[in-house]
Structure 1
Amino acid sequence: MNDNCNESEIIDENYVNLMNQVINYSLNLHNKDTNSSFPRLVDSSGDPLVLQPSLFPMVWPTVYFALEDESISLVPNKLKPYLKWKLSSITANTMRTVVTKSGFRLLRDKNQKVYKNWSAIWCKHMKSVDFKTIKDYQKVNHFPGSFHFGRKDKLWQNLRSMAVKHGFEVFAHFHPPTFVLPHDWTQLKKYWINSAEELVFILKPPASARGEGIKIIKKFSEIPKPSARAKHKHNAKSQYVVQKYITNPCLLYNETKFDLRVYVLITSIVPLRVYVYDDGLVRFASHKYSNDIQNNSDNQFMHLTNYSVNKNNLNYVLNHDINGQTGNKWTLKTLWRYLNHSCKGVDVDAIINSIEDMIIKTVISCEPFVAKLVKENVKSRYSCFELLGFDIMLDNTYKPWLIEVNISPSLRSDSSLDSAVKSQLIKDMFNLIGHQIPPNFKRLETFAEFICFNRHYYSALLSDEETIKVNL
């Protein structure tokens, strides 16, 4: 018993010293080197403090997130009650490991009524009006209206709108020709009739995921025909998205289709701040690709690259080597190395630049609609962020094509490769967005105003420079 008391006294004594370090560093804004390594402060053992000066100037300290095998300073007892993470049905195993490592207590609340003072949650998308219930110090992994990214019909309509304004060669050249039914029925029919090539389309429900409801279409008569009333009704509800199928995919030595899962983090809508993760996943189909689409139109293992589909094929091979070039899943960095070393004449930097250009234009096309809903429903700019999963395919000329964008991309880990990519993604994402100590901690400590969340810092007007950017 005495040993436990002594340990608590030591921890609390260290707590005062460590908090002083964090506060002094954060207040010393003029001398802060924002380009220095992160984490910046460590304890006497060389382990990172659980609270770190923010990555950004003029921002109070944030919780430091670490990987499972990293050593981190003990969480002070006085802070523990204020680190509360509310679980949801999509809180992945990788995420639980990272957040508990940093001292968060996981709250299981099945009735949605017991726990209200949580500080963070990772959940499915909510209705826009529900964001009004989020307190200004709480963080949720969505913006209201982010379905403008995730719904296939909304995404194309937003891109098309920008293309009409700025030119299809600028805003739509990276997205396969797409038609939203029933509204675009007449245009689709005209496109099909006037095409000189043999067309293949892929039919998708507008809000589906994991390969559900997808069908390969080779004849116009195979497309479900809408009612006469729906075809001519301007605001008819979207029933299907019909997208031109990429019949000339890039094939590597395994001769199977693949796509890229590129992770994109939006930390702010107004002003707009977007980050692209430097790694990702390459997902291979589990059946060799064939140009004989007519006789393989029902073979999802050939046409789709979704893990949720292909894991059901007996030929699917897990890859546990983060640097390995075998199996049905690679890391994105492994693909870039493969193309550099095994494919002569391929300009990997040009491919990456094209992908980043695609991401920027896609986000810009959806931003006005999301910004409007954020203004109407969100109390604090601190509260919201969004991780998007861009699904991109390369054709046989190595041109990137945007297939779709996923909100709430899966962060589950089913292999050591998955865990390596996604755990680091989660760590970097949370350290970037910055989780702060809730304001009720101020009741405990006199110096807490220099550590806790302060809503005034997130309700200030934009700078002149940011205002100009927003209005461009």
Structure 2
Amino acid sequence: MPSTTISTDNIINIQKSRDENETVKYTEKLHHLINHSNISFPFSSFRHTIAQNFTIDTSRAKTNKHIVSICAAKLGLHEYPEGREDGGICDIYWHNNMQHDIRSIIKNPQCKINKFPGMSDLSKKISLTRAITSMRRLFPDEYVFYPSSWFIPAQLDAFIKHCNKCAKSGEHSTSFQNSNNWYIVKPDDGAQGTGIYLIQKPEEIRKPETCQLIQEYIADPYLLNDNLKFDLRIYAIIKSINPLSIYVAREGMARFCTEQYATPTSSNFDNLYAHLTNYSLNKENNAYIHSLSLIDQIKGSKRLLSTVFHQMEARGVKKQQLWHDIKIIIVKTVIAMLPEIILNYEHYFYDTIGPQCFQVIKIPLVRDTILLVLNLIDVVYPNQSLTNLTHSNSNCPRKTMDDMGEFGAKQRCHLTEV
């Protein structure tokens, strides 16, 4: 599939534009970028071929190190866990976090690093919501997969106005099946489900002076036979941003609630075991099912993406169309992030040729009865550690990292194209 791109200036102008004619002009370019961006699966034929002389520095990988080392060995990469004592360069530098002194660590522009500068800021819920909301305001038909959102305290008045309008008209907040206008509130810097709760009215917001994200709640999610709410965890690699090139891992994960789902009401809205899929929350429930084998994970609280896709196919869902929809959402989400990624990179390496960056990202999706919805919890930084392993989530990061290795081997064949 051919690659294409919109120039840096045009991408930024798309979000800054308020002129209707300019928006129409850029809409065509946006469609062209979405339809022709290089987004595909890595090719297994590259495995164990070019990788034999491929080097990787994992001295700063920290919690990622175990899984990266396992996959490096499997792929035949030459690993330097303590860095190169001879002062030589490596092909890849794998860091847990972007180092402030990265310019002194990686001096060769042909080297690759697994982080884009500024991604830690974009991983915050409010920062990413701003980026996606900007695109949704300009291209509402293209970003219907993202629920209406408000970040407080800055947009508290706007949220109150929205709720008052819905109360007077008796209408639902948007096209989503949001029964009785339920909303989900998430702390901006929260993780693992901590501090998440459901509300119906602005006065129910806890600590409105703190940074929180409010989103309309998807109250009619797609369910399997067990009637448990679940989300899909799709893993992708942003190979390059100019041209925009993305690889999607063949395997992913699905996380399930531990109690059967029911549309939220005043009597059940606080039953988070039925509404939130977070592992850290649900593992505390006695109903949590650990997947110790392939048979277990068919009904487990964590399942391989391939297993869930098979279960969805049995209920009439077309997997090929599902993958197509997933890829389109990934492309549109990354496009919304591009201006910040580009500006941060240029700021970081303003007076020198920087390294070739790539980034592993995690896209959490919830499917309602109509379409896929981006469930913005932790899009940017996936957990690549090997803690709390079960059969499902021990295979998932390894398969994802294997795909990353194939991408790396292929990329080395075409350094001039990157």
TM bucket, shorter chain:
0.7 to 0.9
* 1:353 aligned partner, one-letter code: H
- Give SS of 1:169's match: coil
In the alignment, structure 1 residue 430 sits paired with structure 2 residue 405: yes
Any residues of structure 2 matched to 1:167-316 within 5 Å, and which? 167-171=139-143, 173-195=144-166, 196=170, 197=172, 198-224=180-206, 226=208, 239-316=211-288
Q: 1:303 to 1:296 in 2, by over 3 A?
A: same
- Indicate if the aligned counterparts of 2:292 and 2:390 stay in contact, CA closer than 8 A: yes
Q: What TM-score, normalized to structure 2? A: 0.75
In structure 2, distance between residues paired with 1:267 and 1:49: 17
* Rounded Cα–Cα distance in structure 1 between residues aligned with 2:207 and 2:164: 16
Secondary structure in 1 matching 2:231: strand
8 Å CA contact 2:57–2:79 kept in 1: the answer is: yes
Partner of 1:140: 113
Instruction: State the Cα distance separating 1:147 from its structure 2 match.
Output: 3.7
Q: CA deviation at 1:217?
A: 1.6
**Corresponding residue to 2:322 among 338, 351, 364:** 351
Deviation of the 1:406 alpha carbon: 2.7
Rg comparison, structure with higher value:
1
What does the per-residue CA deviation read over 1:199-223, in whole Å, with 9 as the maximum and x for residues that have no partner? 2111111232221221222332111
Shift in alpha-carbon separation, 1:222–1:39, aligned structure 2, 3 A: closer
SS at match of 1:294: coil
* Alpha-carbon contact 1:277-1:425 (below 8 Å) kept: yes
SS of alignment partner, residue 427 of structure 1? helix
Deviates more, 1:247-256 or 1:402-411: 402-411
Greater shift, 301-310 or 355-364, is seen at: 301-310
Q: Which has the higher contact order (CA 8 A, sep 6+)?
A: 2
Deviations 1:158-215 (A, max 9, x none): 11211222x21112x0011100112211210111111124221111112322212212
RMSD, aligned CA: 3.3
Scaled by the length of structure 1, the TM-score of the pair is 0.67
Q: Which AA in structure 1 matches 2:135? A: M
Deviation of the 1:115 alpha carbon: 11
For residues 372-411 of structure 1, what are the structure 2 equivalents within 5 Å? 372-378=343-349, 380=353, 382-397=355-370, 399-404=371-376, 405-411=378-384
Residues 104 and 436 (structure 1), Cα distance of their counterparts in 2 relative to 1, 3 Å cut? farther
- How many residue pairs align between the two structures? 355
Post-superposition Cα deviations, 1:63-87, rounded to whole Å, max 9, x if no partner, equal: 5xxxxxxxxxxxxxxxxxxx64214
- Whole-angstrom distance in 1 between the partners of 2:115 and 2:213: 24
Matched position secondary structure for 2:362: strand
Q: 1:265 touches 1:388 (CA, 8 Å); kept in 2? A: yes
What is the rounded CA distance, in whole Å, between the counterparts of 2:367 and 2:391 in structure 1?
26
Extract unaligned runs of 5+ from structure 2.
Answer: 1-41, 173-179
Structure-2 separation of matches of 1:164 and 1:291: 29
What is the distance in 2 between the residues matched to 1:415 and 1:224?
Answer: 35
Q: How far off is 1:306 after superposition?
A: 1.5
SS at match of 1:289: coil
Aligned mates of 2:43, 2:299 — CA distance in 1: 37
CA gap of 1:134–1:375, structure 2 versus 1, over 3 A, is: farther
The aligned amino acid for 2:393 is D
Give the superposition deviation at 1:124: 3.7
Deviates more, 1:386-395 or 1:283-292: 283-292
Cα deviation, 1:115-136, whole Å, max 9, x if unaligned, reads 9877455444337x54434413
Q: Is the 8 A contact 1:257 1:303 kept in 2?
A: yes
Distance 1:134-1:294 versus aligned 2 partners, 3 A rule: farther
CA contact (8 A) 1:180 1:242 kept: yes
